[in-house]
């Protein structure tokens, strides 16, 4: 009885301690100017929060206490405190920020400014703009290698990956890839980078040591017109086994063997699948489906889509808080 | 009558149906060809048609194959029941049914047992079909295969009773083509077997209402929901209700001699 009481009290305390305890997925709704918060245990939207205009790229601070939100039409990056779910600050971001990446030092935020063809580097603690780096036309995707050495920007019109040295803030190499590169994802060991080209319909795998392309992938979704196969978001499992590629308006996610680059399966999700994120123990993958306005959850062990959850209009980015 | 006598008769009729099935193994296989063609050929052409909305009992987007599989289970039962019921008329004329009906047990019991026996064979076919459907990635949850069993039996009873009712009205047993055109096809197409009803509603509200009043729709939905481990009381309720009404009408109307109920005048 005593133990039961203790457990009940404990459970109540956990319950009361609120949002910070359960693992939450955050989804930016581009057209609704909101953020949907999904409880990953119950798989239900538990909260919807008003944020700046046209929220797109979102990411977590390295200590998982804050969420950074690109409010594209407000020309700013907002900072949300995860414990209180309140916007506590904004950062200078340059015009029209869409995607960004945080350096492992938890300080330097690399923001791509689509309209100005630059990458802005901001120190999040001092809010100081450290550098503005000229890149190709319409910069879009942004990634920083887990070892912190490289920042990579993709420019949509120039179809290039710009490799920025994070110490000097200078471009050291440009790699031409397929048309309209959208997103870059590094392997956890920083040895390879995967870049998606939306119009080209390709995914390029780059060897980071030599800064050279080692493989180029194409996709063929059965029953779907090739024009609609547009790779965007990429997610890699940390065991190096799988890569997942969101194929935009083909409404499918490609499951790729990350070693052989062979497509293992195409999974049907909602319309215009955009960005992806893995949950805490990498058992599930969450996808944002822009046109159908929902988030699909893929069970990685079974390689099956298990549920789709309605969120706001045009969900763009998704990140899952790994702490729980 | 003692319960043991009922049981003896029940077992007898079931056994006879299985024997008959065993002698017509090719029919069993050929009856699977139709739904498999729908699943593999027809659905392939419409693969991208669905996947635009999520409808219960599904929790996410599904391929068209997945959508029509329960409807095709219904189709197997529909064709079997109609054929089976018509063969009862045939039996009636050739006399083997008369032997059965000579049993001192109540006629409704005999007829329902016979329908059930035919249903069991249909259900066997449905399970073979569902196993083959795994090849085109129609993968319901494992327990769904068990949960769907009551829905399948209920559906086969309902359609068997309907077939029996129709059979009592048919003047000639060669008239299977007529039954196809006026019963099987309308029932199949004007239901939720091939397309979700909200789609029908968008295209034409009155067609939607016809589909809603079609008991086959509810039978298919009962199969669909149970296969995905969801409980749909409305679908079950309507299917069960219609089954009882049809069974009552069919058993009341069934006469060993056709001319009696038809009341046709001598030429």
DSSP labels, B106-160: -HHHHHHHHHHHHHHHHHHHHHHHHHHHGGGT----TTHHHHTHHHHHHHHHHHH
Three-class SS state of B195: coil
**Residue A196 pLDDT > 90:** yes
- DSSP of A177-220: -SSSEEEEEE-TTSSEEEEEETTTTEEEEEETTTTEEEEEEE--
Between residues B233 and B96, the one the model is more confident about: B233
Query: Please, what sign has the CA dihedral across residues A294, A298, A303, A306?
Result: negative
Label residue A313 by pLDDT band (50, 70, 90): very high
| High-pLDDT (> 70) share of chain B, % | 87
The answer to whether the CB atoms of A251 and B62 lie below 8 A apart is no
Label residue B252 by pLDDT band (50, 70, 90): confident
A139 within 8 A of A164, measured Cβ to Cβ: no
User: How would you label A161-183 residue by residue, b for 16+ Cβ within 10 Å and e otherwise?
Assistant: bbbbebeebebebbbebbebbbb
For chain A, the average pLDDT equals 91
Computed over its alpha carbons, how large is the radius of gyration of chain B? Answer: 19
A262 within 8 A of A256, measured Cβ to Cβ: yes
Which structure tokens are listed for A104? 């492992």
**Residue A21 pLDDT > 50:** yes
Average pLDDT for A139-161: 95
pLDDT at position B267, please? 40
Between residues B45 and A114, the one the model is more confident about: A114
Between vectors from CA B148 to CA B134 and to CA A252, what angle results, nearest 5°? 40
Average pLDDT for B190-212: 87
Three-class SS state of B218: helix
B81 within 8 A of B156, measured Cβ to Cβ: yes
The answer to whether the CB atoms of B60 and A307 lie below 8 A apart is yes
**Residue A236 pLDDT > 60:** yes
- DSSP of A264-295: EEEEE-SSSEEEEEE-TTSSEEEEEETTTTEE
| Residue A270 sits at the chain B interface (C-beta within 8 Å) | yes
Q: How many CB atoms lie within 10 A of CB B209?
A: 13
Average pLDDT for B176-196: 85
pLDDT at position B20, please? 81
pLDDT at position B239, please? 95
| High-pLDDT (> 70) share of chain A, % | 93
B63: closest CA of chain A, how far (Å): 8
B57: closest CA of chain A, how far (Å): 11
The answer to whether the CB atoms of B139 and A223 lie below 8 A apart is no
A313 within 8 A of A33, measured Cβ to Cβ: no
The answer to whether the CB atoms of B51 and A268 lie below 8 A apart is yes
Label residue A17 by pLDDT band (50, 70, 90): very low
Strand locations in A84-180, DSSP E? 86-92, 97-102, 108-113, 118-123, 128-134, 139-144, 150-155, 160-165, 170-176
- Chain A residues with CB under 8 Å of B48 CB are 223-224
Which letter does DSSP use for residue A231 in this model? -
The answer to whether the CB atoms of A308 and B61 lie below 8 A apart is yes
B227 within 8 A of B155, measured Cβ to Cβ: no
The answer to whether the CB atoms of B61 and A296 lie below 8 A apart is yes
Between residues B170 and A91, the one the model is more confident about: A91
Best residue in A44, A223, A289 for a mutation probing chain B (most B CBs within 10 Å): A223
pLDDT tens for each residue of B209-237: 999 999 999 999 999 999 999 999 999 99
Which single residue is written with the structure tokens 């969450």?
Answer: A286
Task: Say which of A223, A269, A306 has its CB closest to residue B47.
Answer: A223
Spatial separation of the C-alpha atoms in residues B143 and B13, rounded to whole Å? 30
**Residue B159 pLDDT > 80:** yes
- Kindly give, in sequence order, each residue whose CB lies less than 8 Å from that of residue B113, ignoring residues fewer than 6 positions away: B9, B10, B13, B14
Average pLDDT for B173-201: 82
For chain B, the average pLDDT equals 84
pLDDT at position B51, please? 53
- Chain A residues with CB under 8 Å of B47 CB are 222-223
Q: Which of A259-263, B126-130, B250-254 shows the lowest mean pLDDT across its residues?
A: B250-254
Average pLDDT for A109-127: 92
Spatial separation of the C-alpha atoms in residues A98 and A57, rounded to whole Å? 6
Between residues A302 and B31, the one the model is more confident about: A302
pLDDT tens for each residue of B6-26: 888 888 888 888 888 788 778
pLDDT tens for each residue of A203-230: 999 999 999 999 999 999 987 889 999 9
Query: Model pTM greater than 0.90?
Result: no
pLDDT at position A324, please? 59
């Amino acid at each position: 009885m005593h133990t039961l009481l203790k457990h009940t009290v404990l459970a109540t305390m956990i319950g009361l301690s609120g949002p910070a305890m359960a693992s939450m997925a955050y989804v930016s709704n581009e057209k609704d100017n909101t953020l949907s918060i999904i409880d990953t245990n119950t798989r239900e939207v538990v909260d919807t929060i008003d944020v700046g205009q046209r929220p797109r790229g979102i990411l977590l601070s390295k200590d998982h206490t804050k969420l950074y939100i690109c409010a594209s039409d407000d020309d700013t990056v907002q900072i949300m405190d995860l414990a209180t779910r309140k916007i506590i600050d904004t950062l200078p971001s340059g015009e029209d920020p869409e995607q960004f990446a945080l350096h492992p030092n938890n300080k330097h935020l690399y923001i791509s400014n689509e309209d100005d063809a630059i990458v802005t580097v901001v120190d999040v603690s001092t809010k100081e703009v450290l550098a503005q780096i000229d890149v190709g036309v319409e910069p879009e995707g942004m990634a920083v290698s887990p070892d912190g050495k490289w920042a990579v920007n993709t420019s949509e019109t120039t179809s290039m990956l710009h490799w920025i040295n994070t110490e000097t803030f200078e471009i050291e190499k440009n790699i031409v890839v397929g048309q309209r590169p959208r997103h870059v994802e590094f392997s956890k060991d920083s040895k390879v980078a995967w870049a998606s080209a939306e119009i080209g319909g390709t995914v390029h795998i780059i060897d980071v040591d030599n800064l050279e392309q080692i493989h180029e992938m194409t996709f063929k979704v059965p029953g779907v017109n090739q024009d609609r196969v547009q790779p965007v978001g990429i997610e890699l499992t940390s065991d190096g086994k799988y890569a997942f590629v969101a194929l935009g308006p083909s409404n499918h996610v490609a499951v790729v063997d990350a070693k052989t680059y062979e497509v293992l399966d195409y999974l049907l999700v909602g319309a215009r699948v955009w960005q992806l994120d893995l949950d805490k123990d990498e058992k599930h993958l969450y996808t944002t489906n822009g046109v159908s306005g929902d988030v699909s959850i893929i069970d990685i062990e079974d390689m099956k889509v298990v549920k789709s959850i309605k969120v706001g209009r045009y969900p763009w980015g998704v990140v899952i808080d790994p702490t729980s | 009558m003692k319960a043991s006598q009922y049981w003896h008769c029940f077992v007898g009729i079931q056994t006879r149906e299985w024997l008959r099935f065993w002698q017509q193994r090719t029919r069993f296989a050929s009856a699977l060809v139709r739904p498999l063609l729908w699943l593999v050929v027809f659905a392939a052409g419409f693969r991208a048609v669905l996947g635009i909305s999520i409808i219960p009992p599904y929790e996410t987007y599904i391929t068209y194959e997945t959508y029509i599989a329960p409807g095709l289970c219904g189709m197997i039962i529909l064709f079997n029941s109609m054929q089976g019921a018509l063969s009862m008329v045939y039996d009636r004329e050739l006399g083997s049914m008369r032997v059965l009906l000579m049993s001192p047990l109540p006629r409704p019991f005999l007829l329902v047992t016979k329908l059930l026996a035919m249903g069991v064979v249909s259900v066997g076919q449905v399970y073979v079909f569902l196993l083959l459907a795994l090849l085109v990635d129609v993968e319901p949850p494992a327990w769904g295969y068990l949960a769907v069993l009551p829905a399948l039996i209920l559906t086969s009873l309902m359609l068997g009773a309907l077939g029996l009712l129709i059979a009592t009205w048919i003047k000639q047993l060669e008239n299977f083509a007529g039954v196809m055109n006026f019963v099987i096809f309308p029932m199949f197409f004007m239901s939720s077997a091939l397309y979700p009803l909200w789609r029908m509603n968008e295209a034409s509200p009155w067609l939607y209402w016809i589909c809603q009043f079609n008991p086959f729709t509810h039978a298919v939905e009962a199969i669909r929901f149970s296969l995905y481990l969801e409980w749909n009381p409305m679908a079950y309720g309507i299917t069960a209700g219609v089954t009882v009404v049809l069974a009552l009408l069919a058993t009341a109307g069934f006469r060993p001699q056709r001319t009696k109920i038809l009341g046709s005048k001598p030429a």
